[in-house]
Amino acid sequence: MKILHTSDWHVGKVLKGQSRAEEHKAVLAGVIDIARAEQPDLVIVAGDLYDTAAPTSEATRLVTRALTALRRTGADVVAIGGNHDNGPALDALRPWADAAGITLRGGVRENPDEHVIDGTTAGGERWQLAALPFLSQRYAVRALEMYELTAAETNQTYADHLGRVLGRLTEGFTEPDRVHLVTAHVTVTGATTGGGERDAHTVLGYAVPATVFPATAHYVALGHLHRAQRVIGPCPVRYSGSPLAVDFGEQENVPSVTIVEVTASTAARVREVPVTAASALRTVRGTLAQLAEIEAPDAWLRVYVREQPRAGLREEVQELLPRALEIRIDPELLAAPGSGARIAQRSGRSPRELFADYLDSRGHADEGVQELFDELFEEVEH
């Protein structure tokens, strides 16, 4: 069978105030084109369909249309909720998804069998997929209690809980003539973050070892980390990565989807197919004179300016580089020896003197800013 594995769409993402709706339309159209060309038997979307738990109607329309288009290629489609998604809200779409022939699992259900999906390809290959949406610490414990695996002890870790839940979902991975698959939205120890993930859900407390996945699985399709990568484990474990860079920390990532070919008796063969529709993210550095000389790339820009701070500097950079979304003083310049003058002593000094010392310590010798402070302070005093 052939599988198209994708994740972390983050539809509805706004980058430094810039909507990426048009980019998302182009990116998902690209994913659909790949599906039409590859003709997979199964499409797995491993979580974070949306960027926010309260997506706009436009974002919902885009996601549902994309899932529908993927289903119309003839593939079975399974999508799970990620940490950015609202699990109950996704589950509220299940009547629509069921009618469209799409399997949608937003949150963990009381019946574990609902998370085990069976199918057969047009060529007769039987497959079984354990689909586990993102679980918070609290809901990992609740899932164990629902499945009556034993009382969830307070000294157990998140990894312990998740391992036991996955063990329950994959206990049927014993038939030799069936392809056994897992999809989950989780951080695996040893994997590399993409740069734009939500920190609270990638810290070590949420990391699990790859050994939570059974050796009997033919392929594990993961979401959550935005960089496409293989993870060493007891079976083939992989992140597809995001099909577009969602933050400047991901500018070196190569957006793609993963194509997997596997049978019950042969190992998974994996390849990446690039998705190039979104604008790239780039970082440029320099003085105003240097920035004026560069050939601006066709990308959203983060600009590190090698100038002392002053009023109007942002506007000057924006005029030179209209696609600059983030403009900062170069951290290397601020950290340079001698960039600050002295630390102000509070005792006996006026607010004006303290503010002047602050400006001096930041290398911000702009008389206009000092004058504006004086005017505002005088208004407040009177």
pLDDT for 344 equals: 43
The string of pLDDT tens digits covering residues 338-350 is 544 444 455 567 8
The string of pLDDT tens digits covering residues 172-230 is 999 999 999 999 999 998 888 766 665 544 455 678 999 999 999 999 999 999 999 99
Query: Could you tell me which residues come within 8 angstroms of residue 104 by beta carbon, excluding any fewer than 6 positions away?
Result: 67, 78, 79, 80, 90, 91, 93, 94, 97
Nearest to 280 by CA among 305, 303, 301, 295: 301
Quick check: 300 pLDDT over 70?
yes
What are 153's two structure tokens? Answer: 């002890």
The string of pLDDT tens digits covering residues 243-280 is 999 999 888 889 999 999 999 999 999 999 999 999 99
Q: What is the mean pLDDT of residues 40-62?
A: 96
Quick check: 362 pLDDT over 90?
no
Q: What is the mean pLDDT of residues 144-173?
A: 75
More confident residue, 140 or 116: 116
Which phi and psi (to 5°) does residue 86 adopt?
-95, 100
Nearest to 189 by CA among 202, 171, 173, 201: 202
| Entry field: residues in the chain | 382
pLDDT for 58 equals: 96
Residue 223 in contact with residue 50, Cβ under 8 Å?
A: no
pLDDT for 154 equals: 45
Query: What is the Cα–Cα distance from 138 to 108, expressed in whole angstroms?
Result: 12
